[in-house]
Structure 1
Amino acid sequence: MAQTVISVEKIKSFWHSQVHDEEKWAVNMKLLRAAGLFGGSIILMRSFGDMMAI
């Protein structure tokens, strides 16, 4: 089997490239907001969906 070595330095450099770059951070924030809205709507519909039914 092939072993992949993931070092702490690789993780730190990836995190730094995603957070400290203005353009990538803007895209990541849009994705985080969309995922949060999607997850929140699932929780809302599971909790109160029967009351919203017509």
Structure 2
Amino acid sequence: MAIGGATIEKLKQTWHAQVNDEEKWAANMRLLRAAGLFAGSIFLMRNFGDLMAI
């Protein structure tokens, strides 16, 4: 059980380090925004791509 607790604490430390540091937070937000735009464009092209054809 101690191994699981240590792992959870390590995850909490990593989470807080990523969220509370302004530079890391900005980089993570840019990455999330890019991934969201990519996923959204795939969704639109798969569902409405035939309407965009000439």
Calculate the TM-score normalised by the size of structure 1: 0.87
Amino acid across the alignment from 1:34: A
Structure 2: how far apart are the matches of 1:13 and 1:53? Answer: 49
Structure 1 unaligned residues grouped into runs of 5+ = none
Aligned positions, number: 50
Calculate the TM-score normalised by the size of structure 2: 0.87
What does residue 37 of structure 2 align with?
Answer: 37
Moved over 4 A (4+): none
